[in-house]
């Protein structure tokens, strides 16, 4: 095997000066089709991962890894003792944060909307974008009032500093008349998670506001937010907590609370990459077309090379190198374009979505080295396997027949 000869000949066959007419067109058609196939596959995987990661991030932020409720959502008796029991008896728990969730109404001069009024802690504001109030300020003693979602504020026409009325209903001894509690509060901040389910419903209230409306906070805690060291153990630890606490407590994992959304993503993950991989398969056959055209054009040259001592294995390697060069060129272009688009989308959110349909206001995307390596490996292996056929055809050319009609 003459490696230097193989390199020289394959380089000569693929040089720009040699690629003219139909052969040059087929070369670039192969490169572009490979690039498009790579872009389609990489972006589809990146977008599906982006949806999954973004939904998981928001689900964990607003509902924690595990949410512990009581039946009928009644207040927890002795929450400090429950918190201590979880820490002491369940391994893998990082944080146990008391949670208060109250269904309420928010009233402006023109609108009334139902909301989920919640207390705020440091875990559910991580990574959120805030308008007019710093993240650290939300936990300070100066924070007073409510922080509303961006979609809710836009629909109600709320701005920072506006005054609204929060109406909460509670149980009384009377079956007919519920206990109504009113609070006139200011909008201290506006948050944006990018997920309509939360930006349109959740309103964070300061501890000062909650205590002024409902009294002692420890008497209205009706849930716990559990954060784990390892999210992969969420199912096992959830069952363990339920077993340790018993009645009247029960657990929901973040996956349970958003099972329909995660199921939707898993459903898309199976057929979409499979369908889009057909683009890459078609692209690889364009490489085969170029090799076949090259074999037809270079038949006489191949015959001469075989006569001069080049063996069949060398001919196979020459055409495999040609196929590899096309594949590598298209692969690098496809990866570059995919990375560029992914970066621009993450930083500038150039593609917007209807959040009521797709859960997010901008197309989420995740840049994962695993996806790029997977697509690169799939493309290279497929190209090598398919290109082997015309390469072996070229190696079977008989020198005598190839050079018989040379003039």
Q: What is the 3-state secondary structure (H, E, C) of 6-44?
A: HHHHHHHHCCCCCCCHHHHHHHHHHHHHHHHHHHHHHHH
Domain that holds residue 272: 3-58+264-403
pLDDT exceeds cutoff 60 at 141: no
| Between 217 and 331, residue with greater pLDDT | 331
- Average pLDDT of span 175-183: 69
Q: Give pLDDT, residue 179.
A: 72
Residues 105 and 37 in one domain: no
Residues 51, 56, 57, 61, Cα dihedral to 10°: 140
Instruction: Tell me which residue of 2, 1, 4, 7 sits closest to 318, measured CA to CA.
Output: 7
pLDDT exceeds cutoff 70 at 151: yes
Inter-helix orientation angle 299-307/312-348, to 10°:
130
Q: Which whole-number Å values give the CA distances from 316 to 12, 60, 91, 261, 378, in the listed order?
A: 15, 55, 60, 50, 21
Residues 108 and 237 in one domain: yes
**What is the C-alpha to C-alpha distance for residues 332 and 6, in angstroms, rounded to an integer?**
23
Residues 273 and 232 in one domain: no
**What is the C-alpha to C-alpha distance for residues 249 and 51, in angstroms, rounded to an integer?**
31
Instruction: Tell me which residue of 284, 296, 252 sits closest to 388, measured CA to CA.
Output: 284
Residues 317 and 343 in one domain: yes
**What is the C-alpha to C-alpha distance for residues 229 and 268, in angstroms, rounded to an integer?**
29
pTM: 0.75
Residues 159 and 29 in one domain: no
pLDDT exceeds cutoff 60 at 232: yes
Residues 158 and 74 in one domain: yes
- Average pLDDT of span 194-218: 84
Per the structure block, which two tokens stand in for 189?
Answer: 């901040």
pLDDT exceeds cutoff 90 at 164: yes
pLDDT exceeds cutoff 80 at 198: yes
Residues 71 and 201 in one domain: yes
Which of 207, 223, 257 corresponds to the end of one domain?
257
Q: Which whole-number Å values give the CA distances from 23 to 32, 125, 214, 294, 399, in the listed order?
A: 14, 59, 79, 7, 23
Q: Give pLDDT, residue 165.
A: 93
Q: Please check whether residue 164 is in contact with residue 189, taking contact to mean a CB–CB distance below 8 angstroms.
A: no
Residues 36 and 83 in one domain: no
Instruction: Among 260-274, 321-335, 358-372, name the one with the lowest average pLDDT.
Output: 260-274
Which of 230, 257, 284 corresponds to the end of one domain?
257
Q: Please check whether residue 376 is in contact with residue 327, taking contact to mean a CB–CB distance below 8 angstroms.
A: no
The pLDDT confidence band at residue 392, using thresholds 50, 70 and 90, is confident
Q: Give pLDDT, residue 137.
A: 44
End-to-end Cα, the chain, rounded Å: 30
Residues 362, 368, 373, 378, Cα dihedral to 10°: -40
Write the pLDDT tens digit of every residue in 344-367: 999 998 998 887 777 788 899 999
Residues 7 and 40 in one domain: yes
**What is the C-alpha to C-alpha distance for residues 204 and 133, in angstroms, rounded to an integer?**
13
**What is the C-alpha to C-alpha distance for residues 34 and 85, in angstroms, rounded to an integer?**
58
pLDDT exceeds cutoff 60 at 175: no
Residues 233 and 142 in one domain: yes
Residues 117 and 239 in one domain: yes
Which of 231, 257, 283 corresponds to the end of one domain?
257
**What is the C-alpha to C-alpha distance for residues 281 and 1, in angstroms, rounded to an integer?**
31
Residues 226 and 336 in one domain: no
Q: Enumerate residues 6+ apart whose C-beta is below 8 A from 388.
A: 316, 320
**What is the C-alpha to C-alpha distance for residues 210 and 220, in angstroms, rounded to an integer?**
9
Work out how many domains the chain is built from and give that number.
2
Q: Give pLDDT, residue 394.
A: 75
> What does residue 366 show for φ and ψ, rounded to 5 degrees?
-120, 130
């Amino acid at each position: 095997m003459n490696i230097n000869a193989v390199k020289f000949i394959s380089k000569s066959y693929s040089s720009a000066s040699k690629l003219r007419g139909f052969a040059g067109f087929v070369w670039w058609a192969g490169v572009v089709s490979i690039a498009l196939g790579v872009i389609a596959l990489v972006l589809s995987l990146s977008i599906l991962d982006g949806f999954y990661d973004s939904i998981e991030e928001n689900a964990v932020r607003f509902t924690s890894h595990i949410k512990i409720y009581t039946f009928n959502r009644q207040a927890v008796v002795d929450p400090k003792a429950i918190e201590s029991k979880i820490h002491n008896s369940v391994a893998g728990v990082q944080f146990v944060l008391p949670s208060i969730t109250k269904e309420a109404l928010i009233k402006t001069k023109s609108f009334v909307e139902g909301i989920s009024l919640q207390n705020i802690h440091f875990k559910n504001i991580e990574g959120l974008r805030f308008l007019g109030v710093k993240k650290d300020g939300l936990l300070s003693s100066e924070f007073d009032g409510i922080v509303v979602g961006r979609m809710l504020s836009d629909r109600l026409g709320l701005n920072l500093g506006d005054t609204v009325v929060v109406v909460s209903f509670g149980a009384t001894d009377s079956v007919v008349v519920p206990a109504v509690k009113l609070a006139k509060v200011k909008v201290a901040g506006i948050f944006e998670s990018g997920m309509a389910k939360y930006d349109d419903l959740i309103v964070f209230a300061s501890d000062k506001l909650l205590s002024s409306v409902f009294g002692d906070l420890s008497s209205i805690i009706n849930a716990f937010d559990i954060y784990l060291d390892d999210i992969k153990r969420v199912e096992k630890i959830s069952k363990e907590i339920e077993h340790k606490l018993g009645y009247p407590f029960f657990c929901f994992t973040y996956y349970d609370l958003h099972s329909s959304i995660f199921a939707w993503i898993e459903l898309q993950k199976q057929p979409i990459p499979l369908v889009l991989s057909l683009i890459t398969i078609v692209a690889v056959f364009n490489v085969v077309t170029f090799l076949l055209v090259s074999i037809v054009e270079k038949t006489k040259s191949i015959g001469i090379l075989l006569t001069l001592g080049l063996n069949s294995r060398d001919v196979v390697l020459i055409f495999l190198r040609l196929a590899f060069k096309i594949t590598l060129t298209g692969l690098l272009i496809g990866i570059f374009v995919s990375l560029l688009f992914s970066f621009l989308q993450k930083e500038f959110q150039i593609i917007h979505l209807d959040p009521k349909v797709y859960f997010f206001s901008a197309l989420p995307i995740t840049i994962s080295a695993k996806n790029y390596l997977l697509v690169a490996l799939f493309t290279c292996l497929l190209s090598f396997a398919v290109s082997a056929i015309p390469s072996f055809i070229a190696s079977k050319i008989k020198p005598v027949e190839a050079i018989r009609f040379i003039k």
